[in-house]
A and B are shown apart, each in its own frame.
Chain A
């Protein structure tokens, strides 16, 4: 077996040293009822590299690859071009095969990357401090709500109707068990988010208001009035961003008064990967909130010779110190995804990120104009970054998406799939465009969509 270096002679020598007659002697503490007499039945025996590769390739071939067809899906996961050097760097064994930097003297590579990553995320979000990543955007969203309840000592969170419904579900699942009170709503089909409705739900019991920016329908709007209304009632504003590239073009949440900014970092460096692993981003605008933040933090310090170095810090908030007093049970972060994000961001720089964002927006405007030329297709939002909502006459968008796929186009996410019970949203199609979209892709999508919409009419 190619990964196991011990020979039978080694095994015999080692058992002799231990004073055991056979390997079974080392399993004497396992009760007989749980001892198996041989390899588990119903599972195959070991296989060669070539055979395993054949099996996995066969499974991979059953999937329609995003990069090989016109592709317009978003809703919290975006297809961007990842420069080749990103994957080369994350595959370096010293990054790939290292553990959590518990011994900082020999983990300065990972630690410096995390420090640089924290700085990049904080600046992108317009915040003072970011942590060293969480699992993904949706779990980061729950952690933000949990943190807001700790900071304000209140138990009620008001969710915007236009928060990604999966994020809202994660928050509600967790809150059910922690006893926090979650108020949420469905998104209204209108050109702008309903800030007045949201503000009206903030009261003296509210720990935080959670808004998404750009929101699940792709809409963007000024959040300053929501921030002011929340602060006036002693509540925090949590802003969720699922497309970090957008922040190369539009104002940062921190600048608009967000207290906690969380989001999904998948767009930069990480890739689609059918939903994971992704990268949870988490930042706070006010440095005094740092000690209430969940997850890992990397801090600067000096070594015994006075040289600058980095360590994980403030871990008294974490599971391995105070056990039942821990404010979070987080043990793993998304270190390697954070590295990929950071390398991609370094390659872009300020100039590249702004240009990337502009190119995304340019192509999205182009697509919106082209698609709304189709009779029976209307654009919902006036303002958007790289994702917008189309309203289709006739058939449910869910069926249209299915039929488009069988014609070789991955044409957006139907809101009916995200909101199965909500009648008003069944005709809505969420379309995302990135720099990987070509004008030919847009044309092919439009031609095939037109046929399907016409069939329905």
Chain B
């Protein structure tokens, strides 16, 4: 009945017929070190504050043009100790990479060196204004320039646009550059081809930029169907968006052939570089015929994800697309001064820039972190990063392929992530059940139900910062869960048992959305 954990010890927990824990209830909801935390609006008060500011003086002169806000805003405050405790307690209901193994495929969760954090907080980077006179921010402009040079050299590409604020924003940048390039030669094209093995943001991006999106199937081996792609090329195709390594965890070995065919048909090749960490320092995408590729600094170069962001998505560009790069950009003068080119009318933009994507110059705080990480690793370390990430992923693939369906195990080595499916599970048990069971074993689940080409997909990405001991322990837990799922252990359907919450009702949340706290307003 009880789930065996990784040591084989069976917990003495009793699960009642209705799936609830037995045992004495607490009056607080707390269970020893596992603490419940009410909502801010249930514990805060409008008159409470955690900062010392001058008291309001109603007789003070004001020039607010008669628009003073007199009604209650509806905010509440906590004192400083209450604030620290509220958020510290909440933090303990979260799983992060600092707590343990986080094998979320396609998302790349690796160690976040605290040196990066320390460098980003140097006042010379953290406390400077985006519109400060340029002579007063030469060091910041130099960071952007240096990082751009690293990205160009690592990818073998001639130009880079630094301002996109996330991976998907970078995709948009690349697609807009492609549209601008077609427009500049008076060649309106309407279609973007996106293989099934690409990231979900790719078709969304193309559609957002007003292109018609057409799918290209994957082969049974999990790669782009080259024949189908070539057959679809024509004068209406603006670009092909390929993720490489792809979301099946495989290298698109025919990439160069695809790129040549696309170029011959007058189109451009967009490469989703979210998986660059599998090849960084070892393979340069520029050598494969890429025209535009975004690089998720928050993945490959270890800037932390912060519960969903911020990210950063610089885009490397080929010679053909470079003139269309967005504003602003940094250039280095002949005497070594750095200049931010902000104006469309400037000669340097060659009059072809597609415009501005964001108010300022991109994610400076991410740039300092990424550059710190690159300098720490160097060219030799980054090559080792790719090799260890790929080694760890293949080790997991080969260690689990006998107990988990591995649809592309025969397609060759995987890159930095291993893909499994739930085909061999007993009736009624799914990938979701295994994932929730993994929570009870102390791991964050892998990516589930993505990519769509595999039934009940499980995409496992270990990254290079995990030790062999961690990976061996994870493999043991996965084998145990896979065996239970194959044997039909229905207790998995109720997992997780030990998390701060049992399974949450997502359907109810969507049916009648409750998106803000209202109780105090209705009272």
Interface size class on chain A is: 35 or more
26 A–B pairs (Cβ distance < 8 Å), ordered by A: A15-B391, A23-B387, A25-B413, A40-B284, A55-B375, A60-B119, A64-B128, A73-B129, A77-B130, A104-B504, A105-B496, A169-B356, A170-B359, A271-B127, A272-B128, A273-B128, A274-B130, A274-B137, A275-B360, A276-B312, A300-B514, A320-B450, A324-B206, A329-B201, A346-B78, A349-B45
Closest residue on chain B to residue A96 by CB atoms:
B304
Contact call B55/A320, Cβ cutoff below 8 A: no
Q: Answer yes or no: B220 CB below 8 A from chain A CBs.
A: no
Stretch at the interface among B4-12, B34-42, B261-269, B314-322: B34-42
Contact call A99/B102, Cβ cutoff below 8 A: yes
Q: A106-B499, A349-B49 are in contact. Are A97 and B87 (CB under 8 A)?
A: no
Q: Answer yes or no: B230 CB below 8 A from chain A CBs.
A: no
Q: Answer yes or no: A282 CB below 8 A from chain B CBs.
A: no
Contact call B465/A402, Cβ cutoff below 8 A: no
Q: A65-B123, A66-B129, A347-B49 are in contact. Are A300 and B361 (CB under 8 A)?
A: no
Which residues in B have their C-beta under 8 angstroms from that of A101? Answer: 307-308
Q: A64-B136, A112-B93, A166-B356 are in contact. Are A103 and B445 (CB under 8 A)?
A: yes
Stretch at the interface among A118-126, A201-209, A228-236, A441-449: A118-126
Q: Answer yes or no: A292 CB below 8 A from chain B CBs.
A: no
Q: Answer yes or no: B483 CB below 8 A from chain A CBs.
A: no
Which of the residues B48, B140, B342, B413 comes within 8 Å of A274, measured between beta carbons? B140
Contact call B50/A348, Cβ cutoff below 8 A: yes
Least CB distance, B60 to chain A, in whole angstroms: 6
Contact call B439/A103, Cβ cutoff below 8 A: yes
Contact call A251/B343, Cβ cutoff below 8 A: no
Which residues in A have their C-beta under 8 angstroms from that of B200? Answer: 319-321, 323
Q: Answer yes or no: A162 CB below 8 A from chain B CBs.
A: no
Closest residue on chain B to residue A299 by CB atoms:
B509
Contact call A60/B125, Cβ cutoff below 8 A: yes
Closest residue on chain B to residue A1 by CB atoms:
B381
A166 to B326: give the CA distance in the assembly, Å. 13
Contact call A333/B309, Cβ cutoff below 8 A: yes
Least CB distance, A250 to chain B, in whole angstroms: 5
Q: Answer yes or no: B184 CB below 8 A from chain A CBs.
A: no
Which residues in B have their C-beta under 8 angstroms from that of A455? Answer: none
Contact call A277/B366, Cβ cutoff below 8 A: yes
Interface core residue of B356, B362, B464 (most chain A CB under 10 Å): B356
Q: Answer yes or no: B30 CB below 8 A from chain A CBs.
A: no
Interface string of B154-180 (1 = CB under 8 A from A): 100000000001111101100010010
Q: Answer yes or no: A47 CB below 8 A from chain B CBs.
A: yes
Which residues in A have their C-beta under 8 angstroms from that of B201? Answer: 319-320, 329, 331
Contact call A40/B154, Cβ cutoff below 8 A: yes
Contact call B168/A319, Cβ cutoff below 8 A: yes
A3 to B464: give the CA distance in the assembly, Å. 8
Closest residue on chain A to residue B120 by CB atoms:
A273
Which residues in A have their C-beta under 8 angstroms from that of B308? Answer: 99-101, 110, 132, 296, 332-333, 335
Contact call B172/A329, Cβ cutoff below 8 A: yes
Which residues in A have their C-beta under 8 angstroms from that of B32? Answer: none
A329 to B175: give the CA distance in the assembly, Å. 12
Which of the residues A34, A248, A351 comes within 8 Å of B69, measured between beta carbons? A248
A-B contact sample (20 more), CB < 8 A, given A39-B380, A45-B379: A6-B391, A40-B284, A45-B378, A73-B129, A79-B127, A100-B305, A105-B502, A110-B94, A113-B307, A116-B40, A136-B358, A178-B209, A250-B68, A274-B125, A275-B362, A300-B514, A307-B29, A349-B50, A354-B73, A361-B64
Contact call B251/A99, Cβ cutoff below 8 A: no
Q: Answer yes or no: A76 CB below 8 A from chain B CBs.
A: yes
Q: Answer yes or no: A330 CB below 8 A from chain B CBs.
A: yes
Contact residues, A366-423 vs B (CB, 8 A): 368, 382-385, 401-402, 405-406, 410, 413, 417, 420-421
A445 to B421: give the CA distance in the assembly, Å. 66
Contact residues, B352-401 vs A (CB, 8 A): 354-366, 368, 371-372, 375-385, 387-388, 390-392, 394-395, 398-399
Q: Answer yes or no: B410 CB below 8 A from chain A CBs.
A: no
Closest residue on chain B to residue A219 by CB atoms:
B65
Which residues in A have their C-beta under 8 angstroms from that of B288? Answer: 31, 33-34
Q: A177-B209, A273-B365 are in contact. Are A98 and B113 (CB under 8 A)?
A: no
Interface core residue of A15, A87, A89 (most chain B CB under 10 Å): A89
Least CB distance, A41 to chain B, in whole angstroms: 8
Contact call B51/A105, Cβ cutoff below 8 A: no
Q: Answer yes or no: A49 CB below 8 A from chain B CBs.
A: yes
Q: Answer yes or no: B133 CB below 8 A from chain A CBs.
A: yes
Q: A42-B153, A60-B139, A319-B201 are in contact. Are A10 and B468 (CB under 8 A)?
A: yes
Q: A29-B250, A299-B509 are in contact. Are A18 and B394 (CB under 8 A)?
A: yes
Contact call B96/A94, Cβ cutoff below 8 A: yes
Contact call A307/B501, Cβ cutoff below 8 A: yes
Interface string of B180-216 (1 = CB under 8 A from A): 0000000000000000000011011111111001000
Contact call B165/A314, Cβ cutoff below 8 A: no
Interface string of A339-368 (1 = CB under 8 A from B): 100010111111111111011011001001
Contact call B205/A329, Cβ cutoff below 8 A: yes
Q: A97-B112, A136-B359 are in contact. Are A337 and B304 (CB under 8 A)?
A: no
Closest residue on chain B to residue A38 by CB atoms:
B383
Contact call B395/A94, Cβ cutoff below 8 A: no
A51 to B309: give the CA distance in the assembly, Å. 29
Contact residues, A49-95 vs B (CB, 8 A): 49, 51-53, 55-68, 71, 73, 75-77, 79, 83, 85, 87-95
Closest residue on chain B to residue A406 by CB atoms:
B135
Q: A105-B496, A336-B310 are in contact. Are A179 and B210 (CB under 8 A)?
A: yes
Which residues in B have their C-beta under 8 angstroms from that of A177? Answer: 176, 179, 209-210, 354
Q: A28-B412, A274-B129, A300-B514 are in contact. Are A109 and B91 (CB under 8 A)?
A: yes
Which residues in B have their C-beta under 8 angstroms from that of A324? Answer: 203-204, 206-207, 213
Which of the residues A47, A73, A83, A112 comes within 8 Å of B50, measured between beta carbons? A83
Q: Answer yes or no: B473 CB below 8 A from chain A CBs.
A: no
A42 to B91: give the CA distance in the assembly, Å. 43
A14 to B508: give the CA distance in the assembly, Å. 46
Q: Answer yes or no: B104 CB below 8 A from chain A CBs.
A: yes
Q: Answer yes or no: A200 CB below 8 A from chain B CBs.
A: no
Q: A346-B78, A350-B73 are in contact. Are A383 and B64 (CB under 8 A)?
A: yes
Contact call A14/B391, Cβ cutoff below 8 A: yes
A106 to B94: give the CA distance in the assembly, Å. 5
Contact call B129/A272, Cβ cutoff below 8 A: yes
Closest residue on chain B to residue A52 by CB atoms:
B375
Which residues in B have their C-beta under 8 angstroms from that of A1? Answer: 377, 381, 384
Interface string of B67-94 (1 = CB under 8 A from A): 1110111111110100110111011111
Contact call B501/A49, Cβ cutoff below 8 A: no
Q: A55-B375, A302-B504, A350-B46 are in contact. Are A34 and B256 (CB under 8 A)?
A: yes
Q: Answer yes or no: B109 CB below 8 A from chain A CBs.
A: yes
Interface core residue of B21, B57, B63, B364 (most chain A CB under 10 Å): B63
Which of the residues A79, A110, A222 comes within 8 Å of B67, measured between beta carbons? A222
Contact call A323/B203, Cβ cutoff below 8 A: yes
Which residues in A have their C-beta under 8 angstroms from that of B494? Answer: 304
A172 to B344: give the CA distance in the assembly, Å. 13
